Amino acid sequence: MKKFINSVDTLLDESLNGFAKAHADIVQFNQQPHFVKRATPTRSGKVALISGGGSGHEPLHTGFVGLGMLDAACPGQVFTSPTPDQMLEAAQAVENDGGVLFIVKNYAGDVMNFEIAAEMLECPNATVLVADDVSLPKNHSIGRRGVAGTLVVEKIVGAAAEQGFDLAACKALGDKVSANTASMGLALSSCTVPALGKPTFNLADDEIEMGVGIHGEHGRQTQKLGTATEMVEHLINAIIEDLQPEKNSPVLLHINGFGATPLMELYLVYEIAAEFLHRYGIVVMRSLVGNYTTSLDMAGCSVTVSLMDDELLALWDAPVHTASLRWHC
């Protein structure tokens, strides 16, 4: 294992310290318990948005703390859920008389710990559960995983909170975006968790993992490597089958890299995905390409499609200023 690392035990702390120093105008890092919050207070009455999860997915979630998105993010150890005390103290630090909305990816540890924090929090709060991974069936025993669609929820609901939507309206909006977002990914290689020191699964040179998650877990199936067009068609067909969009539906198309795939390849994936959507009669109105919900050093990508309308498009376009997403600010 070759990584820039001093010690597995200090990696997260050192990384978060560096992140906070590099973006000191946007965020502050609370050491114990770990959470990242906005550097400047928000107006009274604004709904506070909090998310979090295991580290290793950067820039999700810490990179999306700032104007127009999250008020705080709680990072756990690599691929490990943050603890309820992190979430509780983060909520108490940023709540400003508007209540708290938790945005939670559908993983058992995240869901359980956020529920505990919500029960302990002595202010109005609600939760949006993101479960956009269509590689798993809707009736899966623990539900679908929350993956790259989480960014879309955080951006749109973050804009709404900034504009004065109340807690109930932010919750309803988040549920709407989550229900109209579908993602699926594939891995060309596994990732290496520093504490493990070796790949979490092995693929032959001519194999890929289709429907992979973001924690180095196996996907829907291992299959032979195909052309970029063949692999992207598989992803798009699964997403279209799930969303069932009407002809001329406006959508956001997000191509997300898992950490080790060059932008040259990600833009090729975008070109192919956009062409397939065009053939289906679907109109790509907004786009986002890059490494946003990663899996350490995994090679591969995911495709996310979100059904949009005029309100959602306006909220997507609204100003945002975070370490990893910013426009119109």
For 171, the token pair is 């919750």
pLDDT in tens, 248-272: 999 999 999 999 999 999 999 999 9
Class of domain 11-180: alpha beta
Question: How many residues would you count in the chain?
Answer: 329
Does pLDDT of 140 surpass 80?
no
Q: For position 138, what pLDDT does the model report?
A: 83
E strand segments, 169-247: 181-187, 207-210, 221-224
Identify whether 140 is a catalytic site residue: no
Question: Same topology for domains 11-180 and 182-315, yes or no?
Answer: no
Ranges of each domain in the chain: 11-180, 182-315
pLDDT digits (tens, 9 = 90+) for 13-52: 999 999 999 999 999 999 999 999 999 999 999 999 999 9
C-beta separation of 253 from 285 below 8 A: no
Tell me the C-alpha distance between 135 and 252, whole Å: 19
Does CATH number 3.30.1180.20 belong to domain 182-315? yes
Percent of the chain with pLDDT over 70: 100
Query: Token match 């749109």: residue?
Result: 156
Catalytic residue among 57, 61, 234, 254: 57
What pLDDT is recorded for position 61?
98
Phi, psi for 282 (deg, rounded to 5)? -100, 140
Which residues on adjacent β-strands are paired with residue 195? none
32 vs 35: CA distance, rounded Å: 8
Exactly one of 23, 34, 61, 215 is catalytic; which is it? Answer: 215
Cut 0.95: pTM above it: yes
Indicate the pLDDT class of residue 216, thresholds 50, 70 and 90: confident
Within 8 A by CB and 6+ apart from 18, the residues are none
Q: Phi/psi class of residue 216: alpha, beta or left (left: φ > 0; alpha: ψ in -120 to 50)?
A: left
Integer Rg of the chain from CA: 19
